[in-house]
Chain A
Amino acid sequence: MDPTYDGFVRNVEILPILGRHGTLSQPSYLLARRKHSMARIAIQLRYSSEARIFVFTFASVLIGCMPQAVLAQESTKPASFINDVVPLLTKAGCNSGVCHAKAGNGQNGFKLSLLGFEPKEDFEYITKDSRGRRLSIAAPETSLLLMKAISKLPHGGGVRFQESSSEYAVLLNWIRNGAVYDAGSAPKLVSLELKPNRATVKPWSEQQLKVIATYSDNSQRDVTQTALFETNDSAMAEVTPGGLVKVLDLPGKVSVMVRFQGRVSVFNASVPLGAAIDALPPSKNFVDEAVFANLKELGIPPSSLCDDATFLRRVSLDLAGRLPTDEERLRFNASQDGQKRDLVIDDLLRSSEYADFFANKWTAMLKNRRDDASDIISNFAFHAWVRDSLLANKPYDQMVRELLAATGTVIANPPVVWYKRVKEPKQQVEDVAQLFLGVRMQCAQCHHHPFERWSQDDYYSFSAFFSQVGRKPTATRGEDMIFHKRGSASATNIKSGAVLKPAALGDTMPTIAADEDPRLKLADWMSSPNNPFFAKAVVNRYWKHFFRRGLIEPEDDIRDTNPPSNPELLAALEKHLIDSNFDLKSLIRTITGSHAYQLNASPNQYNITDQQNYSRYYPRRLQAEVFLDAIDDLTASRTEFPNLPSGTRAIALPDNSYNNASPFLKVFGRPENESVCECERIQSSSLAQSLHLINANDIKAKLSNVNGRAAKLAKSHSSNVEAVRELYAVAFAREPRPEELQAGIEFLAEPRLDPAGQPFDAMKAKQESFQDLIWALINTKEFLFNH
């Protein structure tokens, strides 16, 4: 189970026990339960490739020396620097980012290229740096390189391998044979094959992988022991340094990436649950076909379809970021139309709250951030442009095109504001790649991407698209007019010095004339139906919005080595978006109209462990803005935001500056719009959140607002039954169950006494009872979560 979700559930579970003014006697209860410690590390580090390298290295270091029997080497044949020495240094972790490939000057004066991507430089570092003192050709065994590795001389990195190991033998062999740099003569690695590359693996079973390297001389070698392995989901499977995959108990798809000498390959495992599936909900569209086919293959029976009330609340929160209104609820309940769920989706897609809610999502990732008071106009204009584009259902590719190739002034063309926030070509490349293509290029700025095919040339060729962004000053400080600066677009690889023309990722690009804005060519390439990233990235992002988990996770890390959990579904969604001319509303209509989206959140006896196959709706804690608006709706007390019209919803806030005025938004994780990653939004639970719901002044003020719902109910002549029904209708979009109704009525009827034991004034007592009841509803999981 997702530890963050689990943690929050635990957290909120104890709230009713504590009471509004209770104390936390058992803070340990607030700690999230976590199943796998490695998963925890992976989650904490999931967004950093460098961190992944660290995990890799850490795992490598743990093994110490490797089983010698497996590491057979032909000791008589001279070892190759390229094909033998560099891979073993990589496997031993010597050239990891935390050791000798540390940025700057390596470790203790000994420097290596990161993960051996620059063997020529490594050869120079090993044989020539420090006057060549690291090697002794005359007495190879006394070479510093060897003595340190086996820790015969003090070594901060400890023992990397034993003197008796094959690694030692290979290094010694290489030195004995003159420590030759053989880039010219050594056969080149041309492919990496993983055997098997696909398998169905039952829970709690193992699969040994074998890695075969094929070289340019047609020779093949088993490099299993020198290759590096990593699983994409350590909660589902673990992998040993020797390539033994140990599948755990979670059903679904898991992959193991193997990397050797800059090449990668993937093993895809299908882990079935194997339960019998007697019946599936009928398929409404291709989404259902793909989801249910996958469940059938894995033997995971889905939960049943949710009821109308649950659906209405769910889809309103997911689509418009708010609870259903009274009118919507009454109309929906009264409707006998068989298509009423589809109709309500259409209604919500037409609403301005849809545009507000998704503008809130996009502007956070597009870094619409208030750093200075003078940013206000640009931030409002930019937010409005996104919002209006969504409201008008501007095709997604057109929106991205307008943003990427924006020119002009803030008022005349608000997407130029993105160039105010994201000023440097480096940032522009990385943000565009991650946000719109789901590709993380950050690593490739300095070195070959460790998990991907992207090289530094790819990085700088991509950045060349942004090389002709011209700026002219405006009357507003820090704000420029953006124009296309005529000229030949290019960027310089800072390492090689090569001047590179614009090139798309993994694709060619015709020569761009000096008069043409290269960003328009980039936009053309991105929106091409054949683009392997663009549509995929956004459908995956939107899928995650509605299902909590992307088909590819993280949603903005699309690569060959991180395959989707349901590739057929992802491909079908991608095709749908392209065929619909990048119609986002159509995409949402398709997703939310599916029965897969309309499954119950409650698990059945089989699918409780399912976290990636969508056999049920995965509940999510309401995000900060939605949560605040929902509390406002339930308490009938709107939050006032500085200098905005009364009644402005939190989902409609144009930038991050309002976080300062609303501790609620901050505590519940509203992002500061600093990152292109949606992970900046904090959805995990915290003690502060619990305390805020218990004690914060803003919550108290809402409950006791003289014009709020509690006060109105207390003054109204309606019965307590009607009052409880109203509260349940607003909070959960449903009628109270009989036991809930009974509990509510009894609670409202309880006499309230002051500390001296005297009864309260009747009106005050009634009002406080309603306040307490509303507060209790706010703190239920049913309210806190979309389910």
Chain B
Amino acid sequence: MLNLHRTGCRKFRTIWFIRLICQIGLISTVLLHSGALAQSVCLPLPRLLTTMPMGGKPGTQVELTITGENIDGAGELIFTHPSLSATPIRDANGKAEPNKYMVSIATDAPIGIHEARLMTRLGISSSRVFSVGTLKEATQIGPTTALPKAMPLQVNSICNAVMTDKAIDHFLFEAQKGHRYIVHCSSRGIDSKLEAVLILADSEGRDLNVERRGGTLDFVATKDGKHILKIHDLTFKGGPAYFYRLTLQEIPEGSPVPTFPSTKSVSSFSWPPTGLAEMSATSEKEPNNLHAQAQKIALPCDITGSFFPAADVDTFEFMGTQGDVWWVEVASERLGRPTDPSAIVQLVQQATADGDETFVEIAEFSDIASPMKLSTNGYAYDGPPYNGGSLDIIGKLEIKADGLHRIQLSDLFGGTRIDARNVYRLIIRKAAPDFALASWGFHMELRNGDRNALSKPLALRNGITVALEVVVVRRDGFDGEIALAMDGLPYGVTAQGLKIPAGKTRGIMLITADEQAPKSLANVSFYGKSFVNEVEVKRPVQMAAMAWPIVDSWGEIPSPRLVTGLPISVTGAEFAPVSISAKEKKVWEVNVGQKLTIPLQHTRRSEFSGTVLQLKTSGAGFEQAPRFDVSLASECSEVVLDLAALKTPPGDYLIAFYGTAVAKYQSALEATTKETTAPIDTVDIVMSEPIAICVKPSEPK
């Protein structure tokens, strides 16, 4: 019995222990889960998401309805071109109707795409494309999701529409036999999420022709009468974000298909080289696929051609001189084409008696590397979701011997595709060292498994420091240091660049809004400066942003693109949850190999989840500094930088500390409206104000 009892007791204990472990595990899981569920990513920022319609015609006024997130207190609607302006629409009592504007498009407004931004209580919003075109504009009326509900569409018009979820939109038009029509659906290129499928059908809705690659349906009607256009998303998604502009146009036989303006990929920031003529001097001349057909050229050269037809190889020959160094640049992907140019250069060794030739390959060129390690879209953040590199070419060509040289250009994506629109521009030039810059809102991992890819308008909270990541594509051997700067900042806002070191491709720009800065907005000039051949050059930084705030890039692939302008605002209505800065605003001096202690000051304006903020160091010469913790509960702390361990050489440096913290965010608006809700745990980047350090040479003993 005793044994049995003991055994039973042991069993009981074991079971109890297992239960305990399970319960603890369950509780932990529930807590973690609920915590994760309750936590927001990044403090609210204003984002303009949709406009309806999405465009207009010069010389007209357009009634615009907008939607967005965090756009309470919406005020002025601002366009990137002065020929577009907007005023709020007011009701009979003179009160502004929410989110409605009258947009005036001047007669001289440039045709193409522009961007609209909204000034809100929190500041300036992200931008949304607004198109200006020459055709008559229409707006979708009612549901058009079935053949009997097809909306009539006039030839030579554009219809602004929104796709319904799990549906197909139908439009009806009258075609004339023998007439040529083009149909185009602008969507991705105007910031829509719609992956448009465009179907031409007969009057009974039977499919005749389909375009799914963002291209244009180009057809000659075979009979008079009604035709149907069907539009849907590739995966039949829909909703307000799935807007589009459907163009139906009659064009003469033989005339080229018009191009439809669209936003530019991030990779295109490095194109064109400074001072490049708009049109190239030479065109490729087919046939030039075979060696024997090579087109004769002289260097330098600037040639336009196309990867057409399928598996096209364009061959050029030039006489090279030993010792010459040339730079080869090809643009095609950066022109918006789905291509992957590749070039090889051969030295032709002339024929022997039997007429055969031999050749030696002296160079092969392919992609422009991304300036930063790109996100692999894995579980953890490991790089920005912006690709500054390109499938195009920039490469150095050294001529090793006098003689005939041959350059073969092909498209690694072009084996089977037949599309004359896949154009390229080939430039071979003497070295013209230069650089191109792009920038976007700094991303980092905010919590385990975080995969956010957010548009981050520079709507600054008072007391905040935000970071922009800046990358450079260096051209023709330029490897100098690049200083980053901004002009025209709003009052109370400062910007300091953690410069891009010589030979490196990444830097950080820090923008700080003073705690006392008034509400303001300014269009800022952002540029990088360096010396090329001892002459100072200044190049603009092109901004990139996500078309949509993507909280989880596994669920939805982000759509980064270049944007126009850089407006920066200060809200004057909300404060940063915490500000961290050096206690003294000075240049901190230290001898090489010594330790530098910097007292830090914390200005806390919010409650936080957790008490410790772990900080890393950003800035050349100090990035290897170990992480350190500061207490969020405390008003000050200090950091010790060991220059011996860092091996930082003498020089002037600018650094900042950064980490993530979970603030208990409560909108300041709630306080004013007295409609308070529980604070929301919101994880975001905490960036310190920049700190200047001067590392001096060690003093002689």
Which one of A391, A411, A475, A486 has the greatest number of beta carbons of chain B within 10 Å?
A475
Q: A352-B206, A413-B417 are in contact. Are A407 and B412 (CB under 8 A)?
A: yes
B234 to chain A, nearest CB (A): 5
Residues from chain B with a CB closer than 8 A to the CB of A414 are: 212
A355 to B199, CA, bound (A): 14
Of B128-136, B372-380, B593-601, the one contacting chain A is B372-380
Encoded as 1 (CB less than 8 Å from any B CB) or 0, chain A from 406 to 437 comes to 11110111110000000000000000000000
Flag if A517 contacts B415 (CB, 8 Å). yes
Flag if B413 contacts A645 (CB, 8 Å). no
A481 to chain B, nearest CB (A): 7
Residues from chain B with a CB closer than 8 A to the CB of A519 are: 415
Contacting A at CB under 8 A, from B206-229, are: 206-207, 209-210, 212-214
Is A508 in contact with chain B by the CB < 8 A criterion? Answer: no
A223 to B510, CA, bound (A): 88
Is B572 in contact with chain A by the CB < 8 A criterion? Answer: no
Flag if A475 contacts B206 (CB, 8 Å). no
Is B338 in contact with chain A by the CB < 8 A criterion? Answer: yes
Flag if A377 contacts B234 (CB, 8 Å). yes
Residue of B nearest to A485 (CB): B412
From A388, A415, A484, give the contact of B210 (CB < 8 A).
Answer: A388
Is A405 in contact with chain B by the CB < 8 A criterion? Answer: yes
Flag if B213 contacts A380 (CB, 8 Å). no
Flag if B340 contacts A481 (CB, 8 Å). yes
Residues from chain B with a CB closer than 8 A to the CB of A475 are: 375, 377, 385, 553, 557-558
Q: A411-B195, A643-B235 are in contact. Are A484 and B415 (CB under 8 A)?
A: yes
Flag if B206 contacts A408 (CB, 8 Å). no
Contacting A at CB under 8 A, from B176-235, are: 195, 197, 206-207, 209-210, 212-214, 232, 234-235
From A411, A415, A646, give the contact of B166 (CB < 8 A).
Answer: A646
A534 to chain B, nearest CB (A): 17
Flag if A644 contacts B236 (CB, 8 Å). yes
Contacting A at CB under 8 A, from B349-379, are: 364, 367, 374-378
Interface magnitude class on chain A: 35 or more
Residues from chain B with a CB closer than 8 A to the CB of A483 are: 340, 412-413
Flag if B377 contacts A476 (CB, 8 Å). yes
Flag if A517 contacts B166 (CB, 8 Å). no
A517 to B374, CA, bound (A): 28
Is B666 in contact with chain A by the CB < 8 A criterion? Answer: no
Residues from chain B with a CB closer than 8 A to the CB of A355 are: 207
From B167, B235, B342, give the contact of A486 (CB < 8 A).
Answer: B342
A224 to B125, CA, bound (A): 87
B185 to chain A, nearest CB (A): 14
Flag if B340 contacts A381 (CB, 8 Å). no
A408 to B310, CA, bound (A): 13
Flag if A407 contacts B410 (CB, 8 Å). no
Encoded as 1 (CB less than 8 Å from any B CB) or 0, chain A from 472 to 499 comes to 1101110001011010000000000000
A517 to B340, CA, bound (A): 14
A350 to B195, CA, bound (A): 26
Secondary structure of the B side of the interface? loop
Flag if B557 contacts A476 (CB, 8 Å). yes
A470 to B413, CA, bound (A): 10
Flag if A515 contacts B168 (CB, 8 Å). no
Is B313 in contact with chain A by the CB < 8 A criterion? Answer: yes
Residues from chain A with a CB closer than 8 A to the CB of B417 are: 407-408, 412-413
Flag if A645 contacts B206 (CB, 8 Å). no
From B168, B311, B375, give the contact of A517 (CB < 8 A).
Answer: B311
A100 to chain B, nearest CB (A): 47
Is B414 in contact with chain A by the CB < 8 A criterion? Answer: yes
Residues from chain B with a CB closer than 8 A to the CB of A401 are: 416
From A352, A381, A408, give the contact of B207 (CB < 8 A).
Answer: A352
A412 to B333, CA, bound (A): 12
Flag if B235 contacts A645 (CB, 8 Å). no
Flag if A645 contacts B340 (CB, 8 Å). no
From B235, B377, B408, B553, give the contact of A380 (CB < 8 A).
Answer: B235
B314 to chain A, nearest CB (A): 12
Is B16 in contact with chain A by the CB < 8 A criterion? Answer: no
Is B554 in contact with chain A by the CB < 8 A criterion? Answer: yes
Residues from chain A with a CB closer than 8 A to the CB of B558 are: 475
Residues from chain A with a CB closer than 8 A to the CB of B385 are: 475
Flag if A402 contacts B413 (CB, 8 Å). no
Residues from chain B with a CB closer than 8 A to the CB of A406 are: 415-416
Flag if A645 contacts B167 (CB, 8 Å). yes
Residues from chain B with a CB closer than 8 A to the CB of A380 are: 234-235
A470 to B340, CA, bound (A): 12
Is B613 in contact with chain A by the CB < 8 A criterion? Answer: no
Flag if A486 contacts B377 (CB, 8 Å). no
Encoded as 1 (CB less than 8 Å from any B CB) or 0, chain A from 334 to 362 comes to 00000000000000001110010000000
A535 to chain B, nearest CB (A): 20
Residues from chain B with a CB closer than 8 A to the CB of A517 are: 311, 415
Is B256 in contact with chain A by the CB < 8 A criterion? Answer: no
Flag if B234 contacts A405 (CB, 8 Å). no
From A473, A520, A646, give the contact of B374 (CB < 8 A).
Answer: A473
Q: A377-B195, A388-B212, A515-B410 are in contact. Are A477 and B554 (CB under 8 A)?
A: yes
Is A277 in contact with chain B by the CB < 8 A criterion? Answer: no
A707 to B492, CA, bound (A): 67
Is A392 in contact with chain B by the CB < 8 A criterion? Answer: yes
Residues from chain B with a CB closer than 8 A to the CB of A515 are: 313, 344, 408, 410
B200 to chain A, nearest CB (A): 11
Flag if B376 contacts A377 (CB, 8 Å). no
Flag if A412 contacts B213 (CB, 8 Å). yes
Is A309 in contact with chain B by the CB < 8 A criterion? Answer: no
Residues from chain A with a CB closer than 8 A to the CB of B167 are: 645
Q: A377-B235, A408-B417, A413-B413 are in contact. Are A384 and B554 (CB under 8 A)?
A: no
Residues from chain B with a CB closer than 8 A to the CB of A381 are: 212, 234
Contacting B at CB under 8 A, from A594-649, are: 643-646
Closest 4 CB pairs of A and B: A412-B338, A408-B413, A483-B412, A407-B413
Known contacts A475-B558, A484-B415, A519-B415, then 10 further A-B pairs from the complex at CB < 8 Å, ordered by chain A residue = A373-B554, A384-B234, A407-B415, A413-B338, A415-B416, A477-B554, A486-B412, A515-B408, A643-B235, A645-B236
14 contacts between A and B (CB under 8 A): A351-B206, A380-B234, A381-B212, A384-B210, A384-B234, A388-B212, A408-B338, A413-B417, A476-B377, A476-B557, A483-B412, A519-B415, A643-B237, A646-B166
